[in-house]
Amino acid sequence: MDATHTPDTDRRPVVVRLNAETCAMTDEERAILASVDAHVVEIEGADEEEAIEASRECDALMVVSAYVRARHIEAMRRCRMISRLGTGVDKIDIEAATRRGIVVTNLPGFCTDEVADHTLALLLTVARQLDVFRAAMRQGRVPSPPPEVRRLSTRTVGLIGLGRIGRAVTTRARGFGMRVVAFDPGVTPPEAAAAGAELADFDRVLSEADYLCLFCPLTSDTRQLLTATEFRRMKPSAVLVNTGRGELVNEEDLAAALREGVIRAAAIDVYAGIDVFVAGGFATDHPFFGLENIVMTPHVSAYSQESLVEQKIDGAQAVVDVLSGRWPEHPVNPSVQPWFPVVRPD
């Protein structure tokens, strides 16, 4: 046993559930944790010191949207696992957890359909100029068809990332007769072709896309992947659709590109500079709010009644698996050497 960890005693396992206000626990979630007689501590944890203090003696930490930085991980003396109730793990210091022998899990498929559907909804809103036509209807104005409205089957969707969501978007886009080109270093041309997409390099996807969609994970290499330089490589008629991570884009450069007509429009659900989950509502002084050629939704692409249920159930089940000594279904750091006994699959 690692000397940095406190040995187990005859005690109930303690599970700390962060973001319990913005994403409340469900009875199903509690029932699953009750199967290991867990003592559950529900807190929001918006203040890092509060979250650290509450989880010093926890056996498992469950997190929806809070940051779990290295100092938090180092402060936990008994923690066996961190269960991320979502897909992205960019807010968790995976390296620190791995050094400490803590298993980190996520839910890579819980909202694939929802995000793909929302991506197409944003794309179609811009493609069919729904905001323009809706305003004309409510004002009783005779519509003047914008020149930007083009037949979808003549358009190309460019994807940065061809994982679960990228492939689901490909299926939907192909249903409208659209061509799909994709950049993903981890995918082979036959794999892309099987998904219905044509694999291309990054610059080619930028230059050919009429609708550029972002689905790559947020890492040190992809943070601010799109800046003024990349926007200038895109078509002036192109539209950026981002349901991935806000930090993939330099938002000041995007606002300037939209304002100056470098690209035609954007449709965004995720943000680096707007915290849509702040208690009491968020400020609307971000440069995006002053632009007419941007469609915005408040980080809701993962939502559906079904996905929210699966999120809570599967996230809690991962905790139960690890606390019961079983290897979880979706480890983010599979090479970790746990400091506690756990049975890996053969």
Residues near 205 by beta carbon (within 8 Å), at least 6 away in sequence: 158, 159, 160, 181, 182, 183, 212
For residue 112, what pLDDT is reported? 98
- Report CA-CA distances (Å) from 221 to 80, 84, 202: 29, 22, 14
Per DSSP, the residues of 173-215 read: HHHTT-EEEEE-TTS-HHHHHHHT-EE--HHHHHHH-SEEEE-
Nearest Cα neighbor of 17 from 76, 71, 82, 104 is 82
Q: How confident is the model at residue 146, as a pLDDT?
A: 77
Tokens of 117: 């559907």
- The secondary structure of 257-293 as a DSSP string is HHHHTSSSEEEES--SS--TTSTT-----SGGGG-SS
CATH architecture of 112-296: 3-Layer(aba) Sandwich (3.40)
Q: How far apart are CA 118 and CA 121, in angstroms?
A: 5
- 121/12 Cα distance (integer angstroms): 46
If phi over 0 gives left and psi between -120 and 50 gives alpha, with beta otherwise, what is residue 333?
Answer: beta
CA-to-CA dists, residue 282 to 24, 28, 82, 127, 286, angstroms: 20, 31, 28, 28, 10
Helix (H/G/I), strand (E/B), else coil: 57: coil
Tell me what pLDDT residue 8 has.
61
Tokens, residue 308: 């929210």
pLDDT of residue 86: 95
Domain ranges of the chain: 14-110+305-323, 112-296
Using only C-alpha atoms, the chain has a radius of gyration, in whole angstroms, of: 22
Fold category of 14-110+305-323 in CATH? Rossmann fold (3.40.50)
pLDDT digit string (tens) for the chain, length 346 residues:
455 676 565 789 999 999 999 999 999 999 999 999 999 999 999 899 999 999 999 999 999 999 999 999 999 999 999 999 999 999 999 999 999 999 999 999 999 999 999 999 999 999 999 999 999 999 999 888 777 899 999 999 999 999 999 999 999 999 999 999 999 999 999 999 999 999 999 999 999 999 999 999 999 999 999 999 999 999 999 999 999 999 999 999 999 999 999 999 999 999 999 999 888 899 999 999 999 999 999 999 999 999 999 999 999 999 999 999 999 999 999 999 999 999 998 7
Look at residue 7 in the predicted model and tell me its pLDDT: 58
Question: Quick check: 185 and 132 in contact, CB under 8 A?
Answer: no
Instruction: Give me the pLDDT at residue 6, please.
Output: 64
Give me the pLDDT at residue 122, please: 98
Q: What is the pTM of this model?
A: 0.93
